[in-house]
Structure 1
């Protein structure tokens, strides 16, 4: 069938090297990605990375998966033309920001998204479930008319557009997953119930690293991620720092980050995953400096997977990701001096304690398995399909105690 030709094989030779675990009931799945950036390497951010891996791991487990995403994304081959959405283009790169869109972009992108949703509705008998990762509320307002169970993953704090569209929709509305208990609680306060399903890491792509002398910071160069504070902390700790990530706010980068760069603080730009993992793995400690209520903190899980310890501000869902790992510690948000002290201690412990990095990685392997997460996703899909067939309702089916292990 041309309509659902997403293959059940992994789309990359890297990662997912463990034997593919075939699902008991292969499903036909449409994954709707966010607008703005392609789902491709180097990943624009943690959300894009999570969606990219979700498609790969589901295909590796035998599911037929189609991706609806902006042009230039991986995994679009074999899908309908309607699933290739317009990408963002800035006439002046200096205007580029992650918080707004270029003039006229939504006038083109939103109708394109509706055409993709029309395709789903018109082919509902060929689809078992829709996974929604979009930050556009239109998927939520139309979930009840698609004729297919919809489950939306909450990757962000509450957004007015998402809440308004969800409330405006008709039953059966979307069911929800949240990437952390913190995120679930924030949405719950607005009347949206969600199952907690943390993000995961392809730990084959984040192997054990040897460590090193430099500190490292990874992520989007935007104010809410606070890379300028990481540079300040590194200088207080007396260590060089390397920053890797895409500039998501040019004004912030030019005014707050560039003036701090020098021989002891280097920004290497966005890196593909193998290069990023190699950089993190040969670092003494990773600094994580969110200046907002971070929903999850994927960079923490990635660093711990390489055995590199993490010093982070305690905000949002970050404490859940840190957990009880011996290789991670927390200080109050904006406590730069405390972060420097913590990073220095973790770096020293990692370099002098035999087996420290291996134990850090072992804990990450146990908590952030991409395949284990996929198993839970499959259980969610089965609950939604069963609820759809019996008329039990999507949210009720998903939130039933037996729905998710």
Structure 2
């Protein structure tokens, strides 16, 4: 396999790609950029201001357009944050359409914005877009702007690929990977762990309810993405063994997960992938979760158990069984199925295919 491709990696303009990560998407892009660079590729990362300066960072121009008072007062004026993000991607895609061929061999879009897809035909180089979410109206519209969309699509799970199939019939599945060195096998312990963004769709309150019913301590870790939800649903469950330990960097979070008896994953939506599942398995920590989205793809009976969606009591009943699962089996599953090297191999092969 040849090396030295010039890759434009497009991230979200909403959150910086740096530790502690705002979510799984930022963690994924950071790891992908570093791994591809280590393999000899030249990776230019287009990301929000404040992203990791050790990467070849090109800050997305998220400056607000200078709108007249009349434009701002017009009934068509969208939310200012939406307008700023739109302006950033519009400027980026116009720039790549003008000089992208001189600078890059391939563009890999990991943003959730419609413009990198809608304007892909203006770029004189191949474009890959990874589908990280369930279908959205904006992206479906962008894909349908041309009868033959020039974008090569990947999806982070078979579940996500199936969800997009009416619009994207042939998305390749490339699952997000985790760094097996950072997420090393831990010793296990006496408490349960839940990690991720504390927002309603991730259901941390249900993890707290399950832990309380099972009478096993629980540690919650991650950024508070929805303060009102946290105050109304999570805070009342804190105490008596349920603790919120804050927003941790990767190393601290890996230590926390590796020292846990089991990890709880409680999606209240159809989880497109579930990076926290892969991270737990890499630490040798078995997983108990709700049977939604792609969790069934990642977990096997050797490393996890699934309860009916939203059923905290059923999840609690499974916890003793989950805690007895073999930690080495969990680690083995991560190494074979969702390691960073497996993911990088697949993306590198795709880039080569599109540029030769």
Do they superpose with TM above 0.5?
Answer: yes
Instruction: State the 4+ residue runs in structure 1 displaced beyond 4 angstroms.
Output: 75-80, 169-172
What CA deviation, in whole Å up to 9, does each residue of 1:31-76 have, x standing for no partner?
0001211111111111111111110100010000000110011157
* Equivalent of residue 40 in structure 2, options 62, 74, 78: 62
CA distance in 2, matches of 1:191, 1:273: 34
Retained in 1: the 8 A contact 2:185–2:282? yes
Retained in 1: the 8 A contact 2:62–2:87? no
Retained in 1: the 8 A contact 2:3–2:39? no
User: How far is the alpha carbon of 1:342 from its aligned partner?
Assistant: 1.2
* Equivalent of residue 364 in structure 1, options 299, 310, 334: 334
Measured at CA, do residues 79 and 229 of structure 1 come closer, stay the same or move farther in structure 2, by a change above 3 Å? closer
CA distance in 1, matches of 2:327, 2:83: 50
What CA deviation, in whole Å up to 9, does each residue of 1:293-325 have, x standing for no partner?
100111111001111110010111110011x25
The equivalences for 1:19-38 within 5 A come to 24-38=2-16
Q: Which residue in the other structure is 1:140 paired with?
A: 117
Measured at CA, do residues 169 and 141 of structure 1 come closer, stay the same or move farther in structure 2, by a change above 3 Å? farther
Retained in 1: the 8 A contact 2:33–2:55? no
1:310 aligned onto 2:287 = yes
User: How far is the alpha carbon of 1:199 from its aligned partner?
Assistant: 1.1
Retained in 2: the 8 A contact 1:144–1:170? no
CA distance in 1, matches of 2:26, 2:107: 17
Retained in 2: the 8 A contact 1:37–1:87? no
CA distance in 1, matches of 2:320, 2:55: 47
1:200 aligned onto 2:177 = yes
Retained in 1: the 8 A contact 2:51–2:57? no
CA distance in 2, matches of 1:108, 1:378: 32
* Mean CA deviation greater in 244-253 or 109-118: 109-118
Retained in 2: the 8 A contact 1:217–1:243? yes
CA distance in 2, matches of 1:77, 1:381: 20
Give secondary structure in 2 for the equivalent of 1:243.
strand
User: How far is the alpha carbon of 1:290 from its aligned partner?
Assistant: 0.4
CA distance in 1, matches of 2:192, 2:244: 12
1:53 aligned onto 2:23 = no
1:107 aligned onto 2:80 = no
TM-score by length of 2: 0.92
1:259 aligned onto 2:236 = yes
RMSD: 1.8
* Equivalent of residue 188 in structure 2, options 181, 187, 211: 211
Retained in 1: the 8 A contact 2:284–2:327? yes
CA distance in 2, matches of 1:56, 1:309: 28
Q: Which residue in the other structure is 1:97 paired with?
A: none
What CA deviation, in whole Å up to 9, does each residue of 1:352-381 have, x standing for no partner?
xxxx22232122112122112111111111
1:155 aligned onto 2:145 = no
Retained in 2: the 8 A contact 1:308–1:360? yes
TM-score by length of 1: 0.81
How many residues are paired up? 342
Retained in 1: the 8 A contact 2:34–2:55? no
Q: Which residue in the other structure is 1:73 paired with?
A: 51
The equivalences for 1:331-342 within 5 A come to 331-342=307-318
User: How far is the alpha carbon of 1:136 from its aligned partner?
Assistant: 0.7
User: How far is the alpha carbon of 1:106 from its aligned partner?
Assistant: 2.4
Measured at CA, do residues 162 and 75 of structure 1 come closer, stay the same or move farther in structure 2, by a change above 3 Å? farther
CA distance in 2, matches of 1:32, 1:276: 26
User: How far is the alpha carbon of 1:270 from its aligned partner?
Assistant: 1.0
1:128 aligned onto 2:98 = no
Measured at CA, do residues 300 and 148 of structure 1 come closer, stay the same or move farther in structure 2, by a change above 3 Å? same
* Equivalent of residue 326 in structure 1, options 295, 302, 308: 302
1:269 aligned onto 2:246 = yes
Structure 2 runs not aligned, ≥5 long? 65-77
CA distance in 2, matches of 1:87, 1:254: 32
Q: Which residue in the other structure is 1:118 paired with?
A: 94
